[in-house]
Amino acid sequence: MQFPGQAKPPVGIVFDAAMGQRIDDALALALLYGFDGKNEARVISVSTSMSNLKSAAFCDAVGRFYAGSVSGGFGGFMRGLPVGMSDSGKMPDDTPMIAVPLSKRDAAGKPVFAHDIHGMNDTAEVTALIRNALTAQYDENSIVVLTGPATGLVKVLDLPGAKELIERKVKFLSVAAGESDIAAAKKLFSEWPTPIFAVGQEIGEAVLFPASSIEKDFAWSPAHPIVEAYRAYKPMPYDAPTWAMAAVLYAVRPKEGYFKLSEPGTISVFDDGRTRFTPSPDGRHRYLIADPAQRERILKVYTEVASAQPVPRQPRFRPQKQEQKQKPVETKPPN
């Protein structure tokens, strides 16, 4: 929520991921909360395109962890955000990277990583969540990061007046998405009304997140959900590709020169999931291009910010008498 009479806050990030499918989604969420803790960005919306309660619960647990429920961190202002979850399709099986952290118990038998999602009614409807988050922001002070299927975002596009809202509120869309919903990807790239910056395959493989960072940089907390997820995803040690982290890094620091950019153009998605880039001076799409000279610089940001310990800080704003009203987040009807 924005309060009148206050200075323009850091950019608000809408984060939509297929949490549970790739470990870099979890790393990207940690990176995003790290930037939030540095007051470089604000997490205004978190949602998962997986119709899976543990996927949503893991997102909630990570948010609560960075709010201090385990870490003793900064008690984040306006944390405890509702987590959006897709309600379309069959709920996929739980994957170890989300199931293992959520199953961890302390000596008293209580969950180590607290969350408040136990049923569909505990999650938010994705389209309403994202719409309401954007509505509450200053114009051109939001960025959308997509690291999973475009299913949820295209549903937002279909809402009455949504394209105008997105065009007014969102600077750009940063994409590191998979191809599991090809129809949604086609619609996203053809109809999204702001510039799009896409993370190519080589970007995630050019800078790998080191297992050594998991072992040492996160050791400030005796129990850390990202560490538990990383260890459960694959047998240790392994270094992880960073597609989703690149999407977050560019969203928060687009002017820092971490990546080169392609010329402007248009990305088209074919029926088999392949893409074609057509250069055009008027095009609103660009690819991030790996720059070998920036590899060590990027790796330093990834490891330091993603593993940063939350520090106590005061709320960014003070409520005033006349606050802007925010639409309530819609929850799902009872089963």
For 41, the token pair is 């960005």
Would you place residue 177 in the very low, low, confident or very high pLDDT band (cuts 50, 70, 90)?
A: confident
Task: Return the residue matching tokens 């297929």.
Answer: 18
User: 252 near 40, Cβ under 8 Å?
Assistant: yes
What pLDDT is stored for residue 4 in this prediction? 52
Contacts of 235 (CB under 8 A, 6+ apart): none
Work out the average pLDDT over 293-311. 95
pTM for the predicted model, two decimal places: 0.89
d(CA 244, CA 203): 10
Q: Amino acid letter at 172?
A: F
The proportion of the chain whose per-residue pLDDT surpasses 90, expressed as a percent, equals 79
Q: What is the DSSP letter of 111?
A: B
d(CA 206, CA 29): 20
Work out the average pLDDT over 199-215. 96
Helix, strand, coil content of the chain in percent (nearest 5): 35, 15, 45
Mean pLDDT of the chain: 89
Give residue-wise pLDDT tens across range 76-121.
Answer: 443 468 999 998 766 778 999 999 999 999 999 999 999 999 999 9
Task: Return the residue matching tokens 């870490």.
Answer: 71
Give residue-wise pLDDT tens across range 5-47.
Answer: 567 899 999 999 999 999 999 999 999 999 999 999 999 999 9
d(CA 281, CA 142): 25
Q: What is the DSSP letter of 253?
A: -
